[in-house]
Amino acid sequence: MTMVSELGRRAKAASKFLAGVTSAQKDQALVRIAGALTLGANKILQANAQDIEAARANGLTEAMIERLTLNHKRIGQMAAALEELIALPDPVGSVLGGMVRPNGLKISKVRVPMGVIGIIYESRPNVTVDAATLCLKAGSAVILRGGKEAIHSNRALVGIMCDALEEAGFPADCICLIEDTTRQSSQELMRLNGYVDVLIPRRGAGLIQAVVQNATVPVIETGVGNCHVYVDSSADLEMARRIVVNAKAQRPSVCNACETVLVHRDIAEAFLPRLFADLREHGVQLRGCKTTLAVLQQGETLPEGLTAAAEEDYATEFLDYILACRVVDSFGQALLHIDRYSTRHSECIVTGSYANAQRFTAQVDAAAVYVNASTRYTDGGEFGYGAEIGISTQKLHARGPMGLQELTTYKYIVLGDGQTRE
């Protein structure tokens, strides 16, 4: 038995324990974890310093190092997030439906824990705590496979959480960390059928595709967002400008940020110069179609911050201060563009037309479809779900923000008094 399958076996055993605990017991364990993280801050920061040192030695980018870095403030935020998690209602045990059948059978559909949840994620140590505690609250054991750059931090964080679990009378195996950060260990986790009930890859189109291609356990695809804002001919142009700028520039590195703006040609001349000026102020580069360039061109030369869009720009999740822009001839052409390039995450129309709002929400196939609001709202917190484990872009099981509820499943409990089938 390999180390990964041994972890699978242990996590599965721990999941049986978790299936039997009360909400109060889980919350008590979370309280202990919050306290232990605060008390263990120096130990965590020491481990984190090792990771940062190695990251610098290996020439990681500043952005990657920034995501890897912990400090007292961030550890405080982890503990604060735990307080919020504790306050959320326990999804487990709620009755989703039921009936008494004509033969007297009483059938109820009851929410139960998933069992064992696998998470493969980038080198962000805060995800280690977020993911583990969300799974715990949802009643499942978790197997974590974090990025190799964060291994010292992850080991320290998981060590502290497991000690706290044991103090609360829980098996430490409720939170398992795969310490082997080779490619082989994540491949093994993807194929741990019988132990892993669902595997969630977080972040990075490459990682997510590797999981989709290689996993034999059930997977929830998350997080790639090639999101569009379509500015209809009937849009309030002032509102449209604010929405596009917010959707692009408020935080460009996240999956619900806008990557392409589509502009109806009837308002292109009135809208694009104002949009472009505002985007420039926010440091956003525009990559425009021919019509966009023609509208914004000053004499023979393109203004600074504007270049020609290539076909592949429309398919790119920039995650940066770059926005593609295309002028469309019609509402229908906007729908076709979105259908072709969308990753089915978040799509928006800015419109004053009731009919177009109705058509857009009905016909656009995405986890979240917006009328007259920024795509940046696709988020567990903004939806009022509290903490989230990610944004699902597939249609099976969960779509959009995945909170505690989406980390559970259900079973049917059938109570009889001797019924047999004829």
Closer CB to its own copies, 329 or 365, in the complex: 365
Q: Site residues (CB under 8 A) for its own copies?
A: 16, 19-20, 99, 101, 105, 107, 112, 114-115, 193, 197-198, 212-213, 216, 218-221, 236, 239, 242-243, 245-247, 250, 339, 357, 361-363, 365-374, 376-378, 382-384, 394-397, 399-400, 409-422
Closer CB to its own copies, 49 or 239, in the complex: 239
- Cβ of residue 351: shortest distance to its own copies, in angstroms? 11
- Cβ of residue 174: shortest distance to its own copies, in angstroms? 16
3-state secondary structure of 313: helix
Residues belonging to the chain: 422
Tokens of 226: 């090639």
Half-sphere exposure of 14 (CA within 13 A, CB side): 27
Closer CB to its own copies, 158 or 200, in the complex: 200
- Cβ of residue 135: shortest distance to its own copies, in angstroms? 14
Cβ neighbour number for residue 184 with a 10 Å cutoff: 11
- Cβ of residue 419: shortest distance to its own copies, in angstroms? 4
Closer CB to its own copies, 11 or 156, in the complex: 11
- Cβ of residue 198: shortest distance to its own copies, in angstroms? 6
> What is the identity of the amino acid at 397?
H
Are β-strands 106-113 and 95-100 bridged in parallel, bridged antiparallel, or unpaired? antiparallel
Closer CB to its own copies, 296 or 367, in the complex: 367
Contact 243, 370 (CB under 8 A): no
Closer CB to its own copies, 310 or 354, in the complex: 354
Q: Note the Cα 183 to chain centre separation in Å.
A: 22
27/231 Cα distance (integer angstroms): 46
User: What angle is formed at CA 340 by the lines to CA 338 and CA 346, rounded to 5 degrees?
Assistant: 40
- Cβ of residue 9: shortest distance to its own copies, in angstroms? 12
3-state secondary structure of 350: strand
- Cβ of residue 52: shortest distance to its own copies, in angstroms? 30
Task: Taking each helix axis as running N to C, give the angle between helix 354-363 and helix 331-341, from 0 to 180 degrees, rounded to the nearest 10.
Answer: 20
Q: Note the Cα 36 to chain centre separation in Å.
A: 27
Closer CB to its own copies, 39 or 100, in the complex: 100
Tokens of 55: 């990251």
208/351 Cα distance (integer angstroms): 34
52 Cβ neighbours under 8 A, 6+ residues apart: 65, 68, 69
Closer CB to its own copies, 128 or 375, in the complex: 375
- Cβ of residue 6: shortest distance to its own copies, in angstroms? 17
C-alpha to C-alpha distances, 107 to 19, 99, 267, 398, nearest whole angstrom: 20, 5, 57, 24
143/154 Cα distance (integer angstroms): 12
Place of tokens 């001919």: 233
Closer CB to its own copies, 264 or 376, in the complex: 376
- Cβ of residue 290: shortest distance to its own copies, in angstroms? 28
